[in-house]
Structure 1
Amino acid sequence: MAEIKIAAETRTEFGKGAARRIRREDKVPAVLYGQGKDPVHVTLPGHDLMLALKNSNALLSIAVDAETHLAIPKQVQRDPLKGFIEHADLLIVRKGEKVVVDINVVLEGEAAPGALVVLENSSISLEVEATHIPESVEVSVEGLEVGSQILASDLRLPSGAALAVEDELLVVNVTHAPTADEIEAELEEAEAEAGIERDESEDSPAAEAADPELADPSAGGDDAGSSAE
């Protein structure tokens, strides 16, 4: 993964008020830490950081004062409603150093007819070189039958990567795809457990059976008498 260069500024103000002032300027308070060094508090340009972190394991080259630090995001706090970045914790790394990161699992192919593919773990923890973090791990489900499973040990890992989870971790589970009748039955059962009663529609067979006039509007009633006249 290529390094993404970002110019930072040293941060000397702290607290909620200072953080709000920083964000009003479209910047993000952040901290660089690791390698046995004292934490470095910085502000980063908000737009540049947002673009860089579209990949959650981006390798950042942070230039601050006369130094440049290689770093990866460890914790990113976002506004729960608007989604903008409020704060970022960045881990300083060195070339050749091993780090443990969560890599997205991407499914490829189509399972056998009637099979439902369930992605039990959408990401997998891998130990990789800090400067060679893969974007994803691809998993083929082409032609898999009901009952098939893919464990962590079955994954084809990128070069230089090693599992940081148990070999038996279930990643993909292939089950029977439910029919429309099964889905309807499960819905009715869930509604019954929740105490929800369905209203019979006037167009439903049950309603028509209860009221013959709904089944045949011409039968009986004042309208039928008027037609006779």
Structure 2
Amino acid sequence: MTAVIHAKERKSFTNSSRRKARKQGQIPAVIYGKKQENKAILVSESELLKILREQGRNAMLNIQLDGENHQALLYELQHDPMKNTIIHADFYVVDMDDEVDIEVPIVLIGEAKGVREGGVLQQTTHEVEVRAKPAYIPSAIEVDVTNLEIDDTIHVQDIQTDGQFKILDEPETVVATILPPENEDLDTADEQKSEEKEDGAVEE
């Protein structure tokens, strides 16, 4: 579903004008693309936050600017590290028939069998780069870990894409694994130490 976000051209670029815009609930931004010249704009902070909350970062956007509609994706967000607020946004105008490369988050679903047996689920890859036409960009990629047992691993090559998008990361990249219980690691270490002591005693 395409989300509408209203924008207006930004004509002042001073620090004071940016601060004033943010106080008024506007976020300084830029819109650009292959066939779209770079243009500084202001967008509604409340509209953008609602879209991020309800549809995610990869939502298709209809940016309404100067009476024209621009199909775009949110390309980059800049945050204030102290206030955790958005201070700038980049929007990339897309052609719906052209593929684009974009980062997509990975969400693990299900309770792994190995976790029920005491193992620990470790997710090492939280997002992957995807190539797809804008209409087929997923908001997130769900990976079912229900059948994972202790020491099992899921790689990028194990993710099903249904042919609608292609994952560009290396196929061998580890997404998630089930680590053995910590006490099991300790038991194994103790066994190894005992064996080493026994071997030493035999040699003497």
Q: Which residue of 2 aligns with 1:42?
A: 41
Residue 10 in structure 1 maps to residue 9 in structure 2: yes
Give the letter aligned to residue 57 of structure 1. Answer: N
Tell me how many residue pairs correspond in the alignment: 181
Superposition TM-score, scaled by structure 1 size: 0.74
Deviation at 1:117, TM superposition (A): 1.3
What percentage of aligned pairs have identical amino acids? 28
1:31·1:90 contact (CA, 8 Å) conserved in 2?
yes
Which deviations, in whole Å up to 9, do the C-alpha atoms of 1:132-179 show, x marking residues without a partner?
221221112113222211110110125411111111111112211213
Following superposition of structure 1 onto structure 2, how do residues 33-112 of structure 1 map, counting pairs within 5 Å?
A: 33-54=32-53, 55-111=56-112, 112=114
Which deviations, in whole Å up to 9, do the C-alpha atoms of 1:96-143 show, x marking residues without a partner?
221111222121222221221111101121111112221221112113
Greater CA radius of gyration, 1 or 2? 1
Give the letter aligned to residue 108 of structure 1. Answer: I
1:117·1:172 contact (CA, 8 Å) conserved in 2?
yes
Q: Which residue of 1 aligns with 2:140?
A: 136
SS at match of 1:131: helix
Return the match for 2:167 from 163, 169, 176.
163
Q: Residues 149 and 181 (structure 1 numbering): CA distance in 2 closer, same or farther, change over 3 Å?
A: closer
Return the match for 1:154 from 155, 158, 165.
158
Structure 1: unaligned runs, 5 residues or longer: 183-229
Q: Which residue of 2 aligns with 1:225?
A: none
2:136·2:165 contact (CA, 8 Å) conserved in 1?
no
Q: Which residue of 2 aligns with 1:213?
A: none
Give the whole-Å Cα distance in 2 for the aligned partners of 1:38 and 1:96.
19
Which deviations, in whole Å up to 9, do the C-alpha atoms of 1:191-221 show, x marking residues without a partner?
xxxxxxxxxxxxxxxxxxxxxxxxxxxxxxx
Give the whole-Å Cα distance in 1 for the aligned partners of 2:162 and 2:14.
42
Give the letter aligned to residue 97 of structure 2. Answer: G
Superposition TM-score, scaled by structure 2 size: 0.82
Give the whole-Å Cα distance in 1 for the aligned partners of 2:14 and 2:162.
42
Give the whole-Å Cα distance in 2 for the aligned partners of 1:12 and 1:128.
34
Shift >3 Å, 4+ stretches: 179-182
Structure 2: unaligned runs, 5 residues or longer: 187-204
Give the whole-Å Cα distance in 2 for the aligned partners of 1:41 and 1:123.
29
Q: Residues 175 and 133 (structure 1 numbering): CA distance in 2 closer, same or farther, change over 3 Å?
A: same
Give the whole-Å Cα distance in 2 for the aligned partners of 1:12 and 1:141.
50
